[in-house]
Amino acid sequence: MTDDRHDLEAEAAAVEVEAELDPEVPQTTIEEPDADAEEPDVEDQTPAPVKRSRLRRPRMPRALRVLGNPRLVTATLVVLLLISGGVASWIYFKQYRPDQQTDPSVRRAVASSASDGTTALLSYSADTLDQDFASAKSHLAGDFLSYYVQFTQKSVGPAAREKSMKTTARVTGAAVSELHPDSAVVLVFVDQTTTTKDSPQPTLVISNVRVTMTRINDKWLITKFDPI
C-alpha cells in the first residue's frame, strides 16, 4: 500500500510539472508598468488645425486701384498733361493772340498813333512852347502824362526859352511788336534836328524809342516812352 501511494503521488507531481512546462496551457500574467517608460509629450498632442472659412476681401475702389497701378498712373498723367496743354493753347489763341482780337486796320492805327505822338512829343519851339506842349499832352495818358507835365514845366520849357531852342522830330519807321485788344508796344525810329541861338546849324540825332500804347475810350495813347 505504501509503495502504491508513493507511485500515485509521484505520478501526480509529474503531471503538475508537465502542465507548468506545456506552452499550450494559457497563463494569465499582469504586466507591471515600466517605471523607466517616458510619459507622452503634451506638445505632440497638438490638435489638428481648424480649417478657416475663406473670407472674401472687400473690393478696392476704382480710384485706389488706379493709384496702385503704375501704368494707369502714367497714362492718367499723360492725359491730364494733354488736357492742360490744350486748355493753355485755347486760352492763348482765344484770349491773348492779337490777330484773333484785332485786324490789320487796328495794327495800322496803333502804329500811326505812336508815330504822331512821338512827333508831337519831340517837336517844340521856344516861340510856341505852350501850343506844342498842349499838342503833345493830347497824345499821352496815365503816369507818363503826369511826368511829362512836370518835366516840361521844370526843365524843357526854361531851357528852350533861354537858348531859343527849336527841335523837330520826323518818324522814319514804326513797327508794332506787341498787340493786344487794349494795349500795344511799338518800336519807333526817329530823326531829330535841333537848333539854338548859339548853334544855328541843325544838329541831327537818330534815336529808337519803345512806345507803349494803351487804348482809352477807343483812342490809342502813349503811356510809356523808353529810348533804346
Express each pLDDT in 7-42 by its tens digit. Answer: 555 555 554 545 454 444 444 444 555 555 455 554
pLDDT of residue 21: 46
Collect all residues with Cβ–Cβ distance below 8 Å to 112 and sequence separation of at least 6.
174
Same domain, 127 and 174: yes
Number of compact structural domains in the chain: 2
Residues 116 and 223 in one domain: yes
Rg (CA), the chain: 60
Can you give the pLDDT at residue 214?
98
- The sign of the torsion formed by the CA atoms of 38, 42, 44, 47 equals positive
Contact 95, 121 (CB under 8 A): no
Q: What pLDDT is attached to residue 96?
A: 46
CATH number at residue 147: 3.10.450.50
Three-state secondary structure call for residue 55? coil
Domain encompassing residue 83 = 66-96
Q: Please check whether residues 91 and 140 belong to one and the same domain.
A: no
Characterise 164 by phi-psi region: left (phi > 0), alpha (psi -120 to 50), beta (else). left
Residue 37 is assigned to a structural domain of this protein? no
pLDDT at 39: 52
Taking residues 45-51, report their average pLDDT: 53
Beta carbons within 10 angstroms of residue 153's beta carbon: 11
Highest mean predicted confidence (pLDDT) among 71-75, 99-103, 119-123? 119-123
According to the model, what pLDDT value does residue 103 have? 74
What would the mean pLDDT of 103-122 be, rounded to a whole number?
A: 94
Cβ atoms of 210 and 228 closer than 8 Å: yes
The pLDDT of residue 100: 47
Placement of cell 501511494 in the chain:
5
- Give me the phi and psi of 51, to 5 degrees please: -75, 115
Q: Answer for the pair 123, 167: CB distance below 8 angstroms, yes or no.
A: yes
User: Do 136 and 198 share a structural domain?
Assistant: yes
Q: Look at residue 107 in the predicted model and tell me its pLDDT.
A: 93
pTM of the model as a whole: 0.57
Q: Is the pLDDT of residue 144 over 90?
A: yes
With contact defined as beta carbons under 8 Å apart, do 217 and 190 qualify?
Answer: no
Do 155 and 83 fall within a single domain? no
Cα–Cα distance measured from residue 188 to residue 145, given in angstroms and rounded to the nearest whole number: 19
pLDDT at 104: 86
Residue 145 has pLDDT above 80, yes or no: yes
Q: Which residue has the higher pLDDT, 190 or 93?
A: 190
